Amino acid sequence: MDPNVVDLAGRRASSPATSAPGRRLLRQVYGEVLRDERRDQDRSLDDVARSVGMSKQYLSEVERGRKEPSSEMLQSVCDALGLPMEQLLARGIRRMTAHRALRSVPGAGVELCAA
């Protein structure tokens, strides 16, 4: 990453979990949506994992985009959260297509990346 570019989201372009700078894998996006929904409901990893019948560690890895769950597993997690699968897909699409705006800060000599 260019030393004069600041990523306000805190993501590093050279992260091994991403395929190219600024790009995220589908499993990462779905994991973020599931984590955000679980947190919005103020539910613990343990609570949701138990209702699905999976380990807390596996659900954590799914939420962090480290594991690629089957469609059946995604459906089970969505059911446990009361989140229609269509909503998971729609939220994922919105996150993947959001444009990152780059703008220069006059006189600062750096570019700020904002989601």
All structural domains of the chain with their residue ranges: 24-98
3-18 core/surface letters (b: 16 or more CB in 10 A; e: else): eeeebeeebeeeeeeb
> Domain 24-98 classified CATH 1.10.260.40?
yes
**Digit-coded pLDDT (tens) for 11-57:** 443 344 445 556 788 999 999 999 999 999 999 999 999 999 999 99
With a pLDDT cut of 70, the percent of the chain lying above it is 66
Between the CA of residue 98 and those of 6, 23, 24, 58, 69, what are the distances in Å? Answer: 18, 11, 12, 28, 24
pLDDT band, very low/low/confident/very high, at 98 (cuts 50, 70, 90): confident
CA-wise closest residue to 111 among 5, 7, 1, 2: 5
Distance between start and end Cα atoms, the chain: 17
pTM of full prediction above 0.75 = no
